[in-house]
Amino acid sequence: MDRNADAPWSKFDPEVYVDNNYRTPLEVDLLIVRLMRDWFSRCFTGATPGTARGIDVGAGANLYPALSMLPWCEKVLLLEYARPNVEYLERQVASGGYDTAWDAFWNELRHAPAYAAAEPRSRFGEIVRVERGNLFDLENGSRRWDLGTMFFVADSMSECPDEFHRGVRCFMNALGEGAPFATAFMKESVGYRVGDHDYPAYRVNEDQVRESLEPFTGELEIHDLHHMVRPGHEGMILALGRRNAVVAAP
């Protein structure tokens, strides 16, 4: 059984990954972006925009979770383990702005008022920072954020059930009490290929996602999206919620 440390993360090709998944936006991703936009807009009703600290865990080569957090944040951290992805993200943050591939996702976001007021390219460059790090190091809860996303990571980095649960726990331990979050999982994934390399997955369904998140959440809504992206999985699961009262890590 492939553990997280066994996978060829140093060979991960972000451009191929973007070609495979995001260069031509899929309706399911645009739907996820709209659901996330509306959830965060509800959570931050009455709050002063631009004051939260956000984190996207295992950001990889996907900017739409960070773009979804943009209006609410004074800072957004992209935490990522694979060096090629860290370099990809650093290029997106550098002056000149992110690739035009991400404009389609902003076009969904900008229909909500808080997003319409933002100039995403310059703001992204100003407030987003990239850090190479391991999600498992978030477990002790010594670093916490006000808003968080984790997309296709806990289920898409290992075949081991204990590492799936640990991944979810680490994300939750990085969120402060009441923090809104969005997290997504490939449903029943048997693994995925990027270029010439295979990456592991732990098969989850809606019940397993709910069970893993419920201990950490006050509000939780789960969207079981029956869209196939490629053979080898059965759709996507999006969970939107808020972190419940933070209990000290064991």
Ligand X SMILES: C[S@@+](CC[C@H](N)C(=O)[O-])C[C@H]1O[C@@H](n2cnc3c(N)ncnc32)[C@H](O)[C@@H]1O
Site residues, ligand X (CB under 6 A): 4, 9, 12, 58-60, 62, 80-82, 85, 134-136, 151-153, 156-157
Residue 58 vs 235, nearer CB to ligand X: 58
Residue 132 main-chain phi, psi, to 5 deg: -80, 125
Q: Are 100 and 78 in contact (CB under 8 A)?
A: no
Nearest distance in Å: CB 213, ligand X: 17
Residue 49 vs 90, nearer CB to ligand X: 90
Nearest distance in Å: CB 118, ligand X: 21
Nearest distance in Å: CB 245, ligand X: 26
Residue 43 vs 79, nearer CB to ligand X: 79
Residue 82 vs 127, nearer CB to ligand X: 82
Residue 7 vs 114, nearer CB to ligand X: 7
Residues 6+ apart with CB under 8 A from 45: none
Nearest distance in Å: CB 117, ligand X: 26
DSSP symbols for the chain: ---GGGS-GGG--HHHHHHHHTSS--HHHHHHHHHHHHHHHHHTTTSPTT-EEEEEET-TT--HHHHHHGGGEEEEEEEE--HHHHHHHHHHHSTT-S-GGGHHHHHHHTTSHHHHT--HHHHHHHHEEEEE--GGGGTT-SS-BSEEEEES-TTSS-S-HHHHHHHHHHHHHTB-TT-EEEEEEEBT---EEETTEEE----B-HHHHHHHHGGGEEEEEEEEE---SSTT---EEEEEEEE-SPPPP-
Residue nearest to ligand X (CB): 60
Residues 6+ apart with CB under 8 A from 96: none
Nearest distance in Å: CB 167, ligand X: 8
Residue 97 vs 191, nearer CB to ligand X: 191
Nearest distance in Å: CB 177, ligand X: 24
Nearest distance in Å: CB 191, ligand X: 10
Residue 82 vs 244, nearer CB to ligand X: 82
